[in-house]
Structure 1
Amino acid sequence: MSNIFIRAHKSPFRPATAEQTIRQHLIGNNVGNLIFSQSVCRLLSTRGTTIRTGGLGGTSPWGDDRRPDRLVLPLANAFRPGFGDRLERMATVIEQAAVPVTVLGVGAQATLSGRRKHRDATDRAVQRFVRATLQHSTGPIGVRGEFTREYLAGLGFGAADVTVIGCPSMFGRGADLRIDRRVDAIGPQSAIALNISPYVPEMGPLSRRHAEQYPNLTYIAQNQQSLEFLLTGHYPAPPDSVVFGSGVPVTDDHPLIQQDRTRFFLDPVTWIDHLRDYQFSFGTRIHGNIAALLAGTPAVVLAHDSRTAELAEYHDIPFRLITDAPGQIDAAELYAEADWGPLNRGHAARWSTFADFLRQHDLSTVYDDGQDGGARFDARLAAVDFPAAVRRSGPGSIEPSVRPSRAAGTAPIGLRRTARRILGGPARRLRARARRLVSVEPRDQLPS
């Protein structure tokens, strides 16, 4: 019997309303985080293994439960300014827990030119975290790509300390991944999924132009601020933020908002299932495009920094630099020029590298001999009633029923804020009632 603790914002089997997601920070500011954590949970859900999920905010994140046999830390661009405090806290947990640790898919972040901000403070936190990990590990640390490997080499970590494994999200189905064109060409009526990083200014004009040229294009939002905007009509950012001057869909006058062509999925299973209906996906969100690939939908990444370019390069996901004539980027052209052949041909070898890395860390997967290929995990996931996509039906109106899950029990945040504006004093009673309705669930556990 193996007992594994996986760092994750929530269990794959936990449904939550949009309000719970915001109040309890269940996506870590970007629902893309759930794509790679769910993939890891699925891969490691072997017979006889108990998986618990949670954060590493305290010195004993598993509370009164017994100490796990191993910590597994799926990470994204954690080697970046602003994340140093969390790296320090994770290092403390690792040092005090004294159990084997496995780090999956961590990456450094820089501009496309390789420039990094606040290097000294970030480097110190990274060095402490990596040293703590290696001291309590049975193998190397797993990084996203060559850029991160070279960054760690510059900090003094050798080849035996670091292995390039890509992102675990790409291996959620093991060696089984193939992308084929669904249509010969993209046309004006094609079903297209667009993903956007609102802080990338080039996406403003691009999104408006594509909204006009492709009436069946839908924006799939990912960051928590966009979720709050869909619920309340207000995008939580300073008035002078770049998001308000670039034309991205963060205000009601954007055509993708006005025409009800924006969706926000709270869970990977509904997100990926929705993307099966599209002919093409593109945009700046690496995990938004990986979600499409997991659905079998062709995707192209518009790389805007080292983290997106690094992953696209390693996994042979077609990509284009957003800085290359952004005014000329067109979905039909991206689709016509893309080649998913290298991704298809190289995936099995990349999976083999990833599986070998897990074996170095004494970790089995559902694809090992004698395992069920994830069937038990998938059956349990299929039995959960996850909420539908969040949407905003138009200026000044709030979608009244983000379909509640069976575990739901909260008043939508948009209704509370609307009541506050309209009712004044009585809204306080509504808010008090809403707080009583909020259910704080115990630490997530995935039984064997």
Structure 2
Amino acid sequence: MARILLRSGKSPFDPVSPQQVIQQNLIATNTGNLLFGDAVHKMLLTPGTEITPNRYQVDPADADRINDEYDVFVVPLANAFRPSFKRHLNDLSALIERLRIPVVVFGVGGQAGTDYGTDHLAPIEQEVRRFCSAVLERSPSIGVRGEFTEKYLNGLGYSEVDVIGCPSMFMHGRELRVDKRAASLEDTAGLAVNVSYDSGNIPGSVIGNGLINRLADAALERYSDLVYVAQELKDMELLYWGDVSEAAGTSSPAPLTRSHPLLREDRTRLFHDSSTWIDALRERDFAFGTRIHGNVAALLAGTPAVVLCHDSRTLELCRYFDIPHRLVADLADETDLAGLPAQLYEEADFSAMVDGHGERFDRLVSFMDRHGLDHVHKPGGDDGAAFESELETVDLHPGMSSWKGGHDGGLGYRLAWLREADTRSRVRQSASDKRVRELTSRVGSLERQIEESAVLAKELAKANKRLEQLVKEVRSSPYRRLRRFAGRLVRRVRSRS
């Protein structure tokens, strides 16, 4: 029996509540992680195989236990090569360095602007090298998202790199079909929009200029059946807890407050199971936006989708899979934002994506074979049929929408107020803790400087004492006495003459 430790938040067959997801962060801050984690789980769930999600818990101290209890550590990743992931990458490296079992990495990528510049990745080069070296000591190659990451790792001296894309696109194995239900989008069409709030401090990204927010607002005005599919943990918290923005009269250009129309009009949904997410998008006519996995979920549902790329992580996947896409930077001159979804829909051509899927799938299968992984797509395998059958027996959460509070005497507002007050307190406490750490570090540095100064002072005192001794010795030497006698004799002779 194969025993696999899988880097993922939870099993696809594990029904969890929003409270559990929020409390345990089972989505690693983004539901997009569900898609590629579940896809790998499905591929590797052969008869007799036991797969255990690690729930994103990484502790090097667990290495001995992992070596004893598992046969392989499978690590699906996304944009892990980025400065903000540095600590997590180091934790993974520290664990992997202690493992004696094989380690297989699926779909890791770097994150840069759409120009593929890598200067901002220089501060984490050491961490990336450490991770790659640790993995390649336990694996024949590293599976990466696309050509950008391949070139980046090649530049660091690593040639053992296989471009396999993101495993989420192979949720249905060799099968991938996307059909337009109509030649054009009517104003009554069912749309799903996905939005990124910021660029993650990635140079070259223009996501922070407000264009996507304006596009979402314009589409909201035009299409009566548009929903926003949120993905982040903070979105879950907002849907679950609410906030006081409506009562306070505050607003946000992005759907970050309950006063935003997408939340106020109950047009926001969030799914913390990949299967319910895909099922929901199957009912939509078109999806678009900046979230790669938000659009991948639509494509897996057979729903046309177009990605608006603002960085390398989305662009290299779109190029590898031939997913229809536009650069956000190229939309700056668009004057009819309300009509843009219809334009994107009409221009989208999915033939290259569908026609090339088989070849890309074969490449992934070869990658798994090369790494010695048993999988459901081997000759005689069921291609995931058993996985689907078991999934049908599980009662999963249908997805989240905004909590209205109901006729509760203002309970919803009161809870939201308390939560915001608690959040502010936590932020202040975090800032205070950070300041304490900084001051503690500074005090330690000053103490070390004082200790070093004391040592130097002692050494200086010794040197001065030695110098004084040398001066005395020189003054009392016969040569010195002779010079003084000669000097006195010369002065006498001169005075008599």
Q: Same fold (TM over 0.5)?
A: yes
Q: Among residues 187, 202, 207, which one is paired with 2:211 in the alignment?
A: 202
1:158-217 CA distances to partner (integer Å, 9 max, x unpaired)?
A: 2xx101000000111111111121111111111111111122332211111100011111
Q: How does 1:241-390 map to 2 (within 5 A)?
A: 247-326=253-332, 327-328=334-335, 329=337, 330-390=340-400
Structure 1 residue 367, shift from structure 2 partner: 1.9
Match of 2:237 in 1: 228
Match of 2:137 in 1: 135
Partner amino acid for 1:209?
A
8 A Cα contact 1:142 1:162, kept in partner: yes
Larger Rg: 2
Match of 1:165 in 2: 164
Q: How does 1:91-240 map to 2 (within 5 A)?
A: 91-116=93-118, 118-137=120-139, 139-158=140-159, 161-199=160-198, 200=207, 201-234=210-243
Partner amino acid for 1:84?
K
Mean alpha-carbon deviation: is it higher for 323-332 or for 88-97? Answer: 323-332
Match of 1:441 in 2: none
Q: How does 1:1-80 map to 2 (within 5 A)?
A: 1-54=1-54, 55-61=56-62, 66-80=68-82
Secondary structure in 1 matching 2:83: coil
Judged with a 3 Å threshold, the aligned counterparts in structure 2 of structure 1 residues 342 and 231 are, in CA distance, closer, same or farther, namely same
8 A Cα contact 1:56 1:90, kept in partner: no
Distance in 1 (alpha carbons) for counterparts of 2:150 and 2:400: 38
Judged with a 3 Å threshold, the aligned counterparts in structure 2 of structure 1 residues 136 and 384 are, in CA distance, closer, same or farther, namely same
Judged with a 3 Å threshold, the aligned counterparts in structure 2 of structure 1 residues 414 and 378 are, in CA distance, closer, same or farther, namely farther
Match of 1:417 in 2: 415
1:384-442 CA distances to partner (integer Å, 9 max, x unpaired)?
A: 1111221116xxx3489xxxxxxxxxxxx9799359589x9xxxxxxxxxxxxxxxxxx
Fraction of identical pairs, as percent: 43
Judged with a 3 Å threshold, the aligned counterparts in structure 2 of structure 1 residues 333 and 399 are, in CA distance, closer, same or farther, namely farther
Match of 1:440 in 2: none
Secondary structure in 2 matching 1:83: helix
8 A Cα contact 2:365 2:377, kept in partner: no
Distance in 2 (alpha carbons) for counterparts of 1:235 and 1:293: 36
Partner amino acid for 1:417?
L
Judged with a 3 Å threshold, the aligned counterparts in structure 2 of structure 1 residues 255 and 128 are, in CA distance, closer, same or farther, namely same
TM-score by length of 1: 0.84
Distance in 2 (alpha carbons) for counterparts of 1:417 and 1:281: 34
1:38-90 CA distances to partner (integer Å, 9 max, x unpaired)?
A: 00000000112111111351125588574311111000000001111111111
Match of 1:404 in 2: none
Distance in 1 (alpha carbons) for counterparts of 2:102 and 2:217: 49
Judged with a 3 Å threshold, the aligned counterparts in structure 2 of structure 1 residues 64 and 129 are, in CA distance, closer, same or farther, namely closer
8 A Cα contact 1:188 1:214, kept in partner: yes
8 A Cα contact 2:244 2:417, kept in partner: no
Distance in 2 (alpha carbons) for counterparts of 1:177 and 1:26: 28
Distance in 2 (alpha carbons) for counterparts of 1:385 and 1:377: 15
1:6-27 CA distances to partner (integer Å, 9 max, x unpaired)?
A: 1001111112211211110110
Distance in 2 (alpha carbons) for counterparts of 1:117 and 1:34: 30
Q: Among residues 87, 90, 93, which one is paired with 1:88 in the alignment?
A: 90
Partner amino acid for 2:197?
P
Structure 1 residue 115, shift from structure 2 partner: 3.5
Judged with a 3 Å threshold, the aligned counterparts in structure 2 of structure 1 residues 64 and 235 are, in CA distance, closer, same or farther, namely farther
Judged with a 3 Å threshold, the aligned counterparts in structure 2 of structure 1 residues 399 and 390 are, in CA distance, closer, same or farther, namely farther
8 A Cα contact 2:40 2:76, kept in partner: yes
Distance in 2 (alpha carbons) for counterparts of 1:254 and 1:419: 17
Secondary structure in 1 matching 2:70: coil
8 A Cα contact 2:42 2:171, kept in partner: yes
Mean alpha-carbon deviation: is it higher for 249-258 or for 84-93? Answer: 249-258
TM-score by length of 2: 0.76
8 A Cα contact 1:228 1:235, kept in partner: no
| Structure 1 runs not aligned, ≥5 long | 237-243, 401-412, 425-448
Mean alpha-carbon deviation: is it higher for 287-296 or for 327-336? Answer: 327-336
Judged with a 3 Å threshold, the aligned counterparts in structure 2 of structure 1 residues 53 and 367 are, in CA distance, closer, same or farther, namely same
Distance in 2 (alpha carbons) for counterparts of 1:141 and 1:187: 45
Distance in 1 (alpha carbons) for counterparts of 2:382 and 2:154: 39
Distance in 2 (alpha carbons) for counterparts of 1:2 and 1:334: 45
8 A Cα contact 2:109 2:313, kept in partner: yes
Greater fraction helix:
2
Distance in 2 (alpha carbons) for counterparts of 1:376 and 1:267: 18
Judged with a 3 Å threshold, the aligned counterparts in structure 2 of structure 1 residues 415 and 173 are, in CA distance, closer, same or farther, namely farther
Judged with a 3 Å threshold, the aligned counterparts in structure 2 of structure 1 residues 398 and 266 are, in CA distance, closer, same or farther, namely farther
Which gives a bigger RCO, structure 1 or 2 (Cα 8 Å, sep 6+)? 1
Secondary structure in 2 matching 1:193: strand
Partner amino acid for 1:325?
L
Partner amino acid for 1:164?
V
Structure 1 residue 114, shift from structure 2 partner: 2.5
Distance in 2 (alpha carbons) for counterparts of 1:235 and 1:347: 47
Distance in 2 (alpha carbons) for counterparts of 1:274 and 1:142: 30
| Structure 2 runs not aligned, ≥5 long | 199-206, 246-250, 423-497
Secondary structure in 2 matching 1:290: helix
Q: How many correspondences in the alignment? A: 398
Distance in 1 (alpha carbons) for counterparts of 2:141 and 2:192: 37
1:341-375 CA distances to partner (integer Å, 9 max, x unpaired)?
A: 00011000000001001100011221222222212
Distance in 2 (alpha carbons) for counterparts of 1:62 and 1:173: 33
